[in-house]
Structure 1
Amino acid sequence: MKAIVKPQKIVLVILAAGASSRMKSIKQLLPWKKTTLLGNAIQQGLLAKIDTVYVVLGANSEIIKPEIKNFNIEIIENESWELGMGKSIACAMDFINNSPTQFDGILIALADQPLLTASHYKELIAKFCKNNFGIVATQEHKIIGVPAIFSRKYFNQLATFNEDKGAKAVIKENMGDVLFVDADSMALDVDTMKNYKELYKKYGR
């Protein structure tokens, strides 16, 4: 007997508000294939046919916005981006909670995980729709994190973030309600210029 697949309306939120101070460059706009790191993240979300894609911008937003204007997305401005990732999540949740569209889940992703593809997003969504877990998170070498989908029951908790506290905190606090999807060594973050150059040379040309 086949599992019943519940129709779910998912919103993708790509966090891209940081200043990338360690990179000494605007990380979101570093080249990746025929676009940029941020452009690649957006492309993968759109290829996954996610209902709605939001991008949270903060530092350098006036420089970044023209570079992503041709994508079918909506930009959320985080004017308090200096407070960290948690504030970007709260900013996105405030926008979503005030939207006329009622979403069943929010898929939180980062702009600097260029090896993740639309297929991973699709797998997260499929697991979310077929199971009753409130969170479906990415697992990479026993490390749990984003991209991750959170059901509506976590929306209020995510909306209260006001510091550099990421979605991983909610995952750790609710491990009994988490289903894991392995990323097959693809959930690598671009944290330093050295790291970026190594990944770009191997995968990003």
Structure 2
Amino acid sequence: MRPVSDPERAREELKAAIARLADGDRSALEFIYSATSAKLFGICLRILGSRDEAEDALQDVYISLWRSAGRYDPARASPISWLATFARNRAIDRLRSGGGGGRVQREAAPIEEAAEISDSAPLADAMLETTQRDAKIHHCLGELEDRTQDAIRTAFFEGTTYAELAEAKDVPLGTMKSWVRRGLEKLKRCLDI
């Protein structure tokens, strides 16, 4: 089954696929991969800067999803936001553990933990985003102080770490973390309204 082009319907089908995956339906992983791999690969590539590393991080994302699909709560996040967080976290973990920029050495996961997935040309990630949701997020971000807005955009859309942000803005790491934490709390309140 291929992902659909209507954003609202695509979101609902993605939620349903994650629920099926949580119940052990291996074919649901193929649908999720087809619907999300282009966007998640883009996140990994932007953070890691290496196709090989991004491909490895993307594999880690889907293995993690296989193990934790049952923890997805649609009331807390859209499916693509939840998966994008997986991708961002896996990529940053790989970046941090990479040492001097060389290839990361890691133990391979058993093949039984991955579903057989064919790489059929993934659809554009735009099918999963709605204009209304984007407008609301940008509106809420616009309500934040400039420094907080900039820090959140840079951290979450560009994959910059808090330490890198603190260094770039010449502030202590704790200060940067506080700005982002308080900004995310305000953002959450705005999005919940």
Q: Same fold (TM over 0.5)?
A: no
Answer with 1 or 2: which has the greater Rg. Answer: 2
Q: Structure 2 length normalisation: TM-score?
A: 0.25
Q: Structure 1 length normalisation: TM-score?
A: 0.24
- Pick the structure with more strand per residue: 1
- Pick the structure with more helix per residue: 2
